[in-house]
Structure 1
Amino acid sequence: MRTRPPVRPEPRTRTLTAAPSLVPLLARGALLSPLKRPRPDALVPATRLVLPGVRIDLAHLAAYERACGFPTGADALPLTYPHVLAFPLAMRIMAGRAFPLPLLGLVHTSIGITRHEGAGATREYELAVEVGKLAPHRRGTEATVLTEARTGGRLVWESTSTYLARHRHRPGTPDEARAEAGGDGSRDGSREGNGDGNPRQEAPPSAPLPSADGPAPLPAVAEWPLAADVGRRYAAVSGDRNPIHLHPLTARLFGFPRAIAHGMWTLARCLAEYGPRQAVEVQAEFRAPVLLPGTVTYAERGPSFELRSGGRVHLRGEVRPHAPDA
């Protein structure tokens, strides 16, 4: 008999007085991870965390801009910076006992960002984060995390991220059938992630570049040599100190031959190269890890961009103008 998935109640809003400290959250999430048994029909926490009165630390903003290649000094937040501001709120939920997926092993597979209007560096913001839903994926279960930034009561920035927990589906269940179809509407379930937060798995394979009889690869724009300390420098400005990003020795403990770059760093670096935009929508898929040190190629044509090396595509995305709501 087929059972209906549980109905998620409306989220309860909980207002915080300060941003949570990331180190205890990451430690708690690591300790709880072995106790969790992920499944697509699990309930997610019905909690919406809100942090009002957020002021931008201009020194931290400048350090983030330098780490990601954005120009410094402008009165505008880089498109990816609100993600960093709200990261502690997301970790507060995902590191908790009620979150059904283990924090260790989560792979950031995709992100969609909408900037409704320019976000100034001297404004005051209200951040909000909640987990939207779980969905079966052919390699496990994906969680959707929703993030918003408001100023003066107006929604100026929002994002939707998907995180994959890898596990086997029970044979013969509807979840298994959906997972074999891709879990996200695709027949091949090709989104694999770039290894962000994935210390238990081998580096996932990436999609090859298009063949000669397929669409032509995007034209190369720039080539970037990446130093071995890229992960440590981004961890210092983002707070994401996952050991797979920090040093070859700690990365090897979790199956990677060398440290890998943060997925959100690769996206930020690509958007810094793409150039400034005001009201935009960005969709990006993280497809394969970037090993450090190494050399990558940034390619772009029209709204599309990608990061690749050799025959591997690490990141693929699009930037579109955002049409304001009527």
Structure 2
Amino acid sequence: MPDLERMPRLGPLYRAAALRRGVAADPALPTGALTVGGVTVDRAHLAGYNRVCGFRLRDELPATYLHVVAFPLAMALMTGRDFPFPLLGLIHVRNRAEVHGPLPSSAAFEVSVRADALRPHDKGTQLDIVATAMIDGALVWSSTSTYLRRTVRSSSPGVPSAAPSQHAVWRVPRRVGGDYAAVSGDRNPIHTSRVLAKVFGFPRTIAHGMWTKARCLAALEGRLPGTYTVDAAFKLPILLPATVGFSAVAQGSGWDFGVHDGRSGRPHLTGTVR
């Protein structure tokens, strides 16, 4: 796929996603990448993102912010004619981001997105969307988002193991779905519309997984290494509004962290910083 002159507009991509039906007879991932150079950060947008996710406003970008920057490219890739699955119905189950160097908010980034690793899974099919950001030809950030196309329904959940001790209790208001949609561009209706969330099987709107991951990193702000990998698995959705427990245990220069239901202890997210 050719390089693009600018980031795609999300409105037409959402219309394309809504109209897409059917699965390719012989699914295969597109082989090219989408790339945009000279991508700069809007300071007002960054401030809004930091407010919603709990970060302080600094000159250094949060690791999760570049996921938002790359999101229009990922949408363009996943709504393209050569992408094998409809976007609606894909479940974001994991995100692994690597910070390879400083991420100054004043920098101009070259951002690229590609699809990789189509593979079978015991619940269907998984694939990865890999995003990278470079400054002056040097890789400073990369991210792998794993998506599941479910074709096999889960069996009844077993008895959960004991949840870690809570180090903080977060009250997550209903507005988080809409607030994060506004700053991320991810306007999947399961996060913003109670009626449409029910159509997709949720009794209420749910928090974005990437908001939950960002909120965890914000809680660790100031205690992260200069370069690191942050890996998070998205478990049970957070039904809004909610009360959840946050846990974080130091592991050398990194962390094991998680978010659990405030009553049952079932995990919403488990993650590591290394």
Do both proteins adopt the same fold according to a TM-score greater than 0.5, normalized to the shorter chain? yes
Amino acid at match of 1:55: T
Matched, 1:61 2:7: no
Against the structure 1 CA distance between its residues 262 and 93, is the aligned structure 2 distance closer, same or farther, given a 3 Å change threshold?
same
Q: Which residue does 2:198 correspond to in 1?
A: 252
Amino acid at match of 1:64: Y
SS in 1 for 2:167: strand
Q: Which residue does 1:292 correspond to in 2?
A: 240
Q: Which residue does 1:231 correspond to in 2?
A: 177
Against the structure 1 CA distance between its residues 259 and 207, is the aligned structure 2 distance closer, same or farther, given a 3 Å change threshold?
farther
Contact persistence 2:134–2:140 (CA under 8 A): yes
Q: Which residue does 1:48 correspond to in 2?
A: 33
Contact persistence 1:207–1:287 (CA under 8 A): no
Q: Show CA shifts across 1:177-199 (max 9, x none).
A: xxxxxxxxxxxxxxxxxxxxxxx
Contact persistence 2:131–2:142 (CA under 8 A): yes
Identity fraction in percent: 44
Deviation at 1:37, TM superposition (A): 4.9
Amino acid at match of 1:281: T
Q: CA RMSD in A?
A: 1.8
Q: Which residue does 2:230 correspond to in 1?
A: 282
Q: How many residues align?
A: 266
Q: Computing the radius of gyration over CA atoms, which structure comes out larger, 1 or 2?
A: 1
Against the structure 1 CA distance between its residues 106 and 299, is the aligned structure 2 distance closer, same or farther, given a 3 Å change threshold?
same
Match for residue 167 of structure 2 among 217, 221, 229: 221
Match for residue 213 of structure 2 among 228, 246, 267: 267
Amino acid at match of 2:76: R
Q: Which residue does 2:249 correspond to in 1?
A: 301
Amino acid at match of 2:19: L
Q: Which residue does 2:22 correspond to in 1?
A: 35
Against the structure 1 CA distance between its residues 117 and 206, is the aligned structure 2 distance closer, same or farther, given a 3 Å change threshold?
farther
Residues in 1 aligned to 2:213 and 2:60: alpha-carbon distance in whole angstroms: 18
Match for residue 72 of structure 2 among 81, 88, 112: 88
Residues in 2 aligned to 1:301 and 1:66: alpha-carbon distance in whole angstroms: 25
Residues in 1 aligned to 2:44 and 2:195: alpha-carbon distance in whole angstroms: 31
Residues in 2 aligned to 1:220 and 1:234: alpha-carbon distance in whole angstroms: 24
Residues in 2 aligned to 1:293 and 1:206: alpha-carbon distance in whole angstroms: 23
Identify which range, 22-31 or 101-110, moves more after superposition: 22-31
Deviation at 1:208, TM superposition (A): 5.3
Amino acid at match of 2:62: P
Against the structure 1 CA distance between its residues 65 and 43, is the aligned structure 2 distance closer, same or farther, given a 3 Å change threshold?
same
TM-score (norm 2): 0.92
Deviation at 1:26, TM superposition (A): 1.7
Residues in 2 aligned to 1:205 and 1:21: alpha-carbon distance in whole angstroms: 40
Instruction: Give ranges in structure 2 of 5+ residues lacking alignment.
Output: none
Against the structure 1 CA distance between its residues 131 and 90, is the aligned structure 2 distance closer, same or farther, given a 3 Å change threshold?
same
Instruction: Give ranges in structure 1 of 5+ residues lacking alignment.
Output: 1-11, 169-200, 212-216, 321-326
Contact persistence 2:173–2:242 (CA under 8 A): yes
Against the structure 1 CA distance between its residues 60 and 297, is the aligned structure 2 distance closer, same or farther, given a 3 Å change threshold?
same
TM-score (norm 1): 0.78
Contact persistence 1:115–1:158 (CA under 8 A): yes
Q: How does 1:91-106 map to 2 (within 5 A)?
A: 91-106=75-90
Q: Which residue does 1:318 correspond to in 2?
A: 272
Matched, 1:159 2:143: yes
Contact persistence 2:22–2:85 (CA under 8 A): no
